[in-house]
A and B are shown apart, each in its own frame.
Chain A
């Protein structure tokens, strides 16, 4: 018994803050949230059990739910690949050795740091204002830009552009990954009659696959959780016409504007499920295109 205590005392003492946090702030809330999703709860009176009603309503009657799904999926499925492709392209250009690469790296990364801030969201809203910078620039080349903020067909584009503006973060990771590929492999490939394009597909991509995968999963999860931009630009409600009703915004409104906490919990679990499914799909598909260098067979 003494041995048991001695062996574990140090470890658990250091782990204690995290353990408390884990149970109080993660496990507890997750279980509680699951429970609440089957209730009607307004944070004042006790929760009323309603069984699957929340979920039924969500799927069968709640137009806004489906709209939120559509908006969020569109955002994720467009912005994530676009961001990654751009990040990879710029990383490859920088990798070849450029003077002042430090400047470029920092410059490209800065938007990623600022991108989640309210200041940038505010800025973005003004950029896409009807008389804002974007339309003014378009006017210079003779194109009449739409009313980005009030036209439901174009409002999502503003957020997709905002997401792409933050390509610096995956770019840095790609840069590090590219650096890890030995130059000699490219030399051997060149001697093996492989041109630049062939080298990219036969060497760069396969060896970069783990990094691509990592970035893909990370960016995907981030995109699903996107909140501040949509919140500020849409005025907090997903306007215009719910075209910016990101799932997270919808959830926030249900929970803290209408105090339909039970329903909001159900929504939260759907979000969790979606992210989990996508992550699992990503992991499963990785079997086919990601090969790790240090794997043991």
Chain B
């Protein structure tokens, strides 16, 4: 079990910097998810931790050892790849045993570990098959099995569920969470899917264009996002974004009303999550609009409302709410459910 400390880590390709000075501390035993849109650098960061990419600047320490000059084969970690990377010419058993053989482990120890992993992942009947005879989900399990037989101090996952179909993905998510509960090893998990991040992580690190936007528990990220990017990225469906101007005493939302919030004067952005928009009712802000789309999910309903000024807001209602396209409705929300961001997109602490 190891902690991972990234200190001012940078990555550049031929002078072009893609990761800009990241400081991150992964505590021993936690499940940290690196999440962000495509191209944000999360995979690159993971690969630098693994030792598959050179560290252009800064240091990475695993445990209490700086690993900048340590080759991947000696870092005592395991990695699960997005495309599984199973050795195609070896049977499942040999795939699992390969790493242990390289470490010169005694034969019976290898056999024991392989058998244990096979049992945990329920792949015992597949042991003699070759990877090409396995389905996507089975391959994924073998890849995970290959990772756990080594009993490493650190697990790395590079978008392992991206190649699976939706249903399998949900199932594997649960299994991976179970694995983490069972082993308790430090795990660093990369994904672009914020749902995976929210459901699996003990803490989440949000990356954007090579910068670390925020690190925190799922609760912290959802309820106190540090900037506009995190606020928009975390939470599905997305937060509604409105433009406003603060007078110092209140915040004016063009055409919509006034929020009784005291922040520094200037341009502000106001974010309201769909679940804080109520249909009908009254609140600090109340507007009329027309429903353009109703998405019925059974347990809840998502209602898209077009406002007179052209904006569309998304509201969440309980599943038994009955609404139709074209219906005129009133939307309302209170200052309490809003998030305020300044002109630069940073969170503003509010008082009312």
Interface residues of chain A, those whose CB is within 8 Å of chain B, are: 182, 184-185, 187-195, 198, 202-203, 206-207, 291, 293-294, 297
Nearest Cβ in chain B — how far from A240, in angstroms?
49
Contacts A187-B52, A293-B88, A293-B132 known; list 16 others, CB within 8 Å. A185-B88, A187-B79, A188-B85, A190-B71, A191-B52, A191-B75, A191-B99, A192-B146, A193-B99, A193-B103, A194-B73, A194-B102, A198-B102, A202-B98, A203-B87, A207-B88
Verify B88–A190 contact, CB threshold 8 A.
no
Contact sample, A vs B, 25 pairs, CB 8 Å cutoff: A184-B81, A185-B85, A185-B88, A187-B50, A187-B81, A187-B85, A188-B79, A189-B87, A189-B98, A190-B51, A191-B51, A191-B73, A191-B79, A192-B73, A192-B98, A192-B99, A192-B146, A193-B74, A194-B73, A194-B102, A202-B87, A203-B87, A206-B89, A207-B88, A293-B132
Nearest Cβ in chain B — how far from A295, in angstroms?
8
Residues of the B chain whose Cβ atoms lie less than 8 Å from the Cβ of A203 = 87
Contact flag A193-B102 (CB < 8 Å), given A188-B79, A293-B132: yes
Residues of the B chain whose Cβ atoms lie less than 8 Å from the Cβ of A192 = 73, 98-99, 102, 146, 150
Complex CA–CA separation, A194 to B87 (angstroms): 13
Complex CA–CA separation, A206 to B71 (angstroms): 24
Tell me the nearest residue of chain B to A188, going by C-beta: B85
B83 at the interface (CB under 8 A from A): yes
Verify A193–B88 contact, CB threshold 8 A.
no
Verify A191–B132 contact, CB threshold 8 A.
no
B78 at the interface (CB under 8 A from A): yes
Complex CA–CA separation, A193 to B102 (angstroms): 6
Residues of the A chain whose Cβ atoms lie less than 8 Å from the Cβ of B52 = 187, 190-191
Complex CA–CA separation, A34 to B90 (angstroms): 47
Residues of the A chain whose Cβ atoms lie less than 8 Å from the Cβ of B150 = 192-193
Nearest Cβ in chain A — how far from B27, in angstroms?
22
Tell me the nearest residue of chain B to A293, going by C-beta: B88
Residues of the A chain whose Cβ atoms lie less than 8 Å from the Cβ of B79 = 187-188, 191
Interface residues of chain B, those whose CB is within 8 Å of chain A, are: 50-52, 71-75, 77-79, 81, 83, 85-89, 98-99, 102-103, 130, 132-133, 146, 150
Complex CA–CA separation, A189 to B77 (angstroms): 12
Complex CA–CA separation, A291 to B89 (angstroms): 7
Nearest Cβ in chain B — how far from A205, in angstroms?
10
Nearest Cβ in chain B — how far from A238, in angstroms?
45
Contact flag A195-B89 (CB < 8 Å), given A189-B98, A297-B133: no
Residues of the A chain whose Cβ atoms lie less than 8 Å from the Cβ of B81 = 184, 187-188
Nearest Cβ in chain B — how far from A209, in angstroms?
8
Tell me the nearest residue of chain B to A202, going by C-beta: B98
Residues of the A chain whose Cβ atoms lie less than 8 Å from the Cβ of B102 = 192-195, 198
Tell me the nearest residue of chain A to B129, going by C-beta: A297
Tell me the nearest residue of chain B to A185, going by C-beta: B85
Complex CA–CA separation, A203 to B98 (angstroms): 11
Residues of the A chain whose Cβ atoms lie less than 8 Å from the Cβ of B50 = 187, 191
Contact flag A184-B83 (CB < 8 Å), given A191-B50, A191-B72, A193-B103: yes
Nearest Cβ in chain A — how far from B43, in angstroms?
12
Nearest Cβ in chain A — how far from B92, in angstroms?
14
Nearest Cβ in chain B — how far from A182, in angstroms?
7
Complex CA–CA separation, A203 to B102 (angstroms): 13
Verify A190–B73 contact, CB threshold 8 A.
yes
Tell me the nearest residue of chain A to B73, going by C-beta: A193
Residues of the A chain whose Cβ atoms lie less than 8 Å from the Cβ of B87 = 185, 188-189, 202-203
Residues of the B chain whose Cβ atoms lie less than 8 Å from the Cβ of A291 = 89
Nearest Cβ in chain B — how far from A253, in angstroms?
48
Complex CA–CA separation, A43 to B229 (angstroms): 91
Nearest Cβ in chain A — how far from B33, in angstroms?
20
Nearest Cβ in chain B — how far from A66, in angstroms?
42
Verify B74–A184 contact, CB threshold 8 A.
no
Residues of the B chain whose Cβ atoms lie less than 8 Å from the Cβ of A191 = 50-52, 72-73, 75, 77-79, 99
Residue in A182, A185, A190, A293 whose CB lies within 8 Å of B72: A190
Residues of the A chain whose Cβ atoms lie less than 8 Å from the Cβ of B130 = 297
Nearest Cβ in chain B — how far from A191, in angstroms?
5
Residues of the B chain whose Cβ atoms lie less than 8 Å from the Cβ of A190 = 51-52, 71-73
Closest 9 CB pairs of A and B: A192-B99, A188-B85, A184-B85, A193-B102, A193-B73, A190-B72, A206-B89, A194-B102, A191-B79
Complex CA–CA separation, A187 to B143 (angstroms): 13
Residues of the B chain whose Cβ atoms lie less than 8 Å from the Cβ of A293 = 88-89, 132
Nearest Cβ in chain A — how far from B166, in angstroms?
24
Complex CA–CA separation, A51 to B87 (angstroms): 57
Complex CA–CA separation, A132 to B302 (angstroms): 88
Residues of the B chain whose Cβ atoms lie less than 8 Å from the Cβ of A202 = 87, 98
Complex CA–CA separation, A185 to B131 (angstroms): 13
Nearest Cβ in chain B — how far from A87, in angstroms?
22
